[in-house]
């Protein structure tokens, strides 16, 4: 009876502390500006796509729902008098609906590297502008086409001039990030007004939300001095409500509200002309911009109010469910608590910390995965990571409560079984599989973040549990004797990746700092080994040469701006055809998909050459904007290559 009362008290404290934690996490900021209830934004970016829609489906026959557009614009008319569109093809009915709801238009034509589609866009925008002169405030010929390197400045100017000739009485502009107006001064004379994008979060040196408004003001004033003979308008500004922290710039609903309300007030006081991004969250943008790309809306993808302009706003709108999930997970400790007949109060503190910390980490990580996962691969990844983290956390809890820790795991032993080099050993298989997957997951995180981390989130919850488990396993078992070449090189890679991320992110990013510390600790538990690093020089020298060749191909041809004009006038040139070919391969991720097959055969066959090939194909992905799948291929290839090299070391 006494023991039962102690357990009840233990969980009462757990319940209260978890409740207070999630209440604190969901608490709104005290620094939010209050705007008048009838305040209206000057103009607001609008894309008529629902949660499961995408503009990429328009060429395949998809047409946005007229009924949905009508509902959207009726709703938006209550908070703005104008909407900005980015494309006209497929949206021919939009002006009529906008007129119905009293909305003006910044009518956009999408300019891309596809000359045929661009011509169609321009023809459509001209026709729509001529038919709707009463509501079209300005025509925007192209959006960030120079930033994307889709066209050259001379090509862009030609497109703009063709629209001006067709619409001599209308205001014609082009919209791009402010730096690209400075890089291409020849564009400004071609437009009637200069439309600049100022997005503090996306700056090359990201700006924290507390300095963001001053940054916007300073950039606007600088551009007015730089181009004094043109009207300067802000075509895009805003802040994301969820996603990856970049240096000191943290995406959150609270920060989005702080920036939005502060900007609206500042713009009103300064008499600025602006368009705000954007009306609704657009999940399709997460494909090209990472999770953060889908969370710039004042309303979510279901058209629900995020309370960015008015009222209560929370970074954790589902805090009550996160609290319930955390407490439910903590109850798993009962598996061991009910078996303990005597309760030592000193140990109870350790029990509490392990249960509390692990349950919070798992729920927080599950919430992040739910918000960021974009496709089947990422959903599978989330399930794998959460499953591993749950198993490792339960092992930590068991150790804290019973002081039992058995982890005689080796990566090489698992590879010997998979490649049929040695017979299956049931007593070790589960340990070896858990060890290989856990260290592999960490290595995928490290490589993808170091090479292509601009759009990736820091998976602190998963990584924290993996690191805690390995730290305990290292001090309670003889991991130093068990670690082989596979573990040693994996640990070294974690060190190098941690250093690269730290240098890139700086000490301003709290998430990055925690991530780096975890990687260093985890890397240490794998690096410290009696094993020697033998036989890797030739293999890694070859991989370095391959990486340099891939990098040269990308920088010299694929992203080199000098080829834009050349290829526009002479598309049959071999280099231009290679550029197009590279673009398709990278965009459709052909190398990553075919590399998955190669990596699978490499693991099953144990072929050293196939393993090296998988690593090269993975490097291609890491260096050409397909980092996540590329990292997976490198890790799978390394398991085979490291295993075969380790065999030679023991001969």
From CA 159, how far away is CA 152, in angstroms rounded?
Answer: 11
179-183 mean pLDDT: 97
Q: For 15-36, what is the mean pLDDT?
A: 90
Characterize the bridge pairing of strands 82-84 and 44-45. Answer: parallel
Give the pLDDT of residue 329. Answer: 96
Cis peptide before 278 (omega within 30 of 0): yes
Mean pLDDT of all residues belonging to the chain: 93
- Helix (H) or strand (E) holding 82, with range, is strand 82-84
Whether residue 651 is predicted with pLDDT greater than 70 in this model: the reply is no
Q: What is the mean pLDDT of residues 166-189?
A: 97
pLDDT at 341 over 70: no
Q: H or E segment at 582?
A: helix 574-588
Find where tokens 């673009």 sit. 583
DSSP 3-state percent helix, strand, coil across the chain (nearest 5): 65, 5, 30
DSSP, collapsed to helix, strand or coil, labels residue 328 as helix
Domain map of the chain by residue range?
1-27+317-404, 34-239+260-283, 537-650
What is the arithmetic mean of pLDDT over 443-459? Answer: 96
- What is the mean pLDDT of the segment spanning 452-473? 96
Q: Which residue has the tokens 């598996």?
A: 335
pLDDT at position 337 is: 75
Residues 603, 424 contacting (CB under 8 angstroms): no
Q: Are 279 and 299 in contact (CB under 8 A)?
A: yes
Which position has the higher pLDDT, 171 or 528? 171
Average pLDDT over every residue of 306-311:
94
**Minimum mean pLDDT among 344-348, 385-389, 528-532: which range?**
344-348
CA torsion, ordered 57, 62, 68, 72, to nearest 10 deg:
40
| Residue range 359-369, pLDDT digits in tens | 999 999 999 99
**How far is C-alpha 437 from the geometric centre of its chain's CA atoms?**
23
Average pLDDT over residues 17-46: 92
Longest pairwise C-alpha distance within the chain: 89
Buried b (16+ CB within 10 A) or exposed e, 559-569: eeeebbeebbe
The strand pairing partners of 109, in sequence order, are 141
pLDDT of residue 344: 58
Total-model pTM: 0.94
Is pLDDT of 388 > 70? yes
Q: Tell me, what's the pLDDT at 390?
A: 97
**Is the Cα torsion angle 595, 600, 605, 611 positive or negative in sign?**
positive
CA distance 466 to 434: 11
From the centroid of its chain, how far is CA 37?
34
What pLDDT band is residue 28 in, cutting at 50, 70 and 90?
Answer: confident
pLDDT at position 564: 86
38, pLDDT greater than 60: yes
Q: What is the pLDDT of residue 627?
A: 94
pLDDT digits over 398-450, tens only?
998 888 887 889 999 999 988 887 787 777 899 999 999 999 999 999 999 99
DSSP 218: H
Query: In which residue are the tokens 């090269």 written?
Result: 616
| Per-residue tokens: 443 | 């290595």
Give tens-digit pLDDT for 495-554.
999 999 999 998 889 999 999 999 999 999 999 887 777 779 999 999 999 999 999 999
What's the CATH code, domain 34-239+260-283?
Answer: 3.20.20.80
Q: How far is the C-alpha of 307 from the C-alpha of 311, rounded, in Å? A: 6
Q: What is the DSSP string of 417-436?
A: HHTTSS---HHHHHHHHHHH
């Amino acid at each position: 009876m006494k023991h039962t009362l102690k357990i009840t008290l233990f969980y009462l404290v757990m319940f209260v502390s978890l409740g207070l934690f999630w209440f604190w996490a969901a608490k709104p900021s005290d620094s939010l500006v209050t705007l008048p209830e009838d305040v209206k934004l000057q103009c607001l970016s609008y894309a008529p796509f629902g949660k499961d829609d995408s503009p990429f489906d328009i060429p395949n026959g998809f047409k946005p729902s007229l009924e949905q557009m009508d509902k959207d614009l009726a709703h938006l008319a209550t908070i703005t008098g104008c909407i900005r569109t980015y494309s006209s093809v497929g949206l021919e009915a939009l002006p009529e609906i906008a007129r119905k709801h009293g909305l003006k238009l910044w009518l956009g034509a999408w300019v891309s590297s596809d000359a045929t589609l661009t011509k169609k866009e321009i023809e459509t925008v001209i026709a729509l502008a001529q038919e709707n002169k009463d509501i079209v405030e300005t025509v925007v010929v192209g959006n960030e086409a120079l930033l994307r390197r889709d066209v050259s400045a001379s090509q862009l100017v030609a497109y703009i001039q063709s629209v001006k000739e067709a619409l001599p009485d209308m205001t014609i502009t082009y919209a791009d990030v402010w730096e690209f107006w400075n890089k291409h001064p020849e564009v400004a004379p071609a437009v009637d007004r200069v439309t600049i994008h100022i997005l503090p979060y996306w700056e090359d040196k990201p700006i924290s939300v507390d300095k963001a408004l001053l940054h916007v003001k300073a950039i606007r004033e600088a551009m007015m001095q730089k181009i004094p003979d043109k009207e300067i308008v802000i075509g895009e500004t805003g802040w994301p409500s969820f996603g990856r922290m970049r240096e000191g710039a943290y995406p959150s609903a609270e920060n989005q509200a702080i920036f939005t309300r502060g900007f609206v007030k500042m713009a009103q006081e300064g008499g600025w002309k602006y368009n705000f991004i954007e009306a609704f969250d657009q999940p399709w943008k997460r494909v090209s911009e990472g999770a953060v790309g889908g969370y710039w809306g004042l309303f979510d993808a279901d058209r629900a109010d995020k309370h960015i302009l008015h009222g209560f706003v929370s970074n954790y709108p589902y805090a009550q469910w996160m609290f319930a999930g955390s407490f439910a997970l903590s109850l798993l400790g009962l598996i061991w608590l009910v078996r303990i007949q005597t309760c030592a109060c000193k140990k109870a503190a350790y029990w509490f910390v392990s249960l509390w910390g692990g349950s919070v980490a798992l729920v927080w990580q599950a919430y992040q995965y739910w918000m960021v996962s974009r496709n089947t691969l990422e959903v599978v990844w989330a399930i794998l990571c959460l499953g591993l983290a749950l198993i490792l956390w339960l092992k930590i809890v068991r150790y804290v409560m019973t002081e039992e820790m058995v982890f005689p795991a080796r990566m090489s032993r698992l590879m010997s079984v998979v490649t049929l080099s040695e017979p299956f050993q049931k007593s070790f298989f589960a340990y070896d599989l858990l060890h290989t997957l856990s260290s592999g997951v960490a290595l995928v995180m490290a490589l993808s973040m170091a090479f292509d981390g601009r759009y990736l989130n820091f998976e602190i919850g998963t990584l924290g549990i993996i690191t805690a488990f390995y730290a305990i396993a290292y001090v309670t078992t003889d991991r130093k004797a068990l670690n082989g070449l596979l573990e040693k090189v994996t640990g070294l890679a974690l060190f190098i990746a941690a250093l690269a991320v730290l240098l890139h992110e700086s000490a301003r990013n709290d998430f990055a700092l925690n991530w780096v510390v975890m990687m260093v600790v985890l890397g240490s538990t794998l690096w410290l080994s009696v094993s020697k690093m033998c036989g890797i020089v030739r293999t890694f020298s070859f991989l370095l040469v391959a990486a340099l060749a891939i990098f040269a191909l990308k920088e010299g041809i694929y992203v080199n701006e000098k080829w834009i004009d050349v290829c526009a006038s002479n598309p049959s040139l071999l280099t231009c055809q290679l550029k197009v070919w590279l673009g398709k391969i990278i965009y459709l991720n052909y190398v990553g998909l075919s590399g998955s097959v190669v990596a699978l055969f490499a693991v099953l066959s144990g072929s050293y050459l196939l393993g090296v090939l998988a690593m090269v194909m993975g490097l291609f992905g890491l260096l050409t904007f397909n980092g996540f799948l590329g990292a997976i291929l490198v890790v799978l290839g390394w398991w085979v290559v490291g295993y075969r090299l380790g065999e030679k070391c023991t001969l």
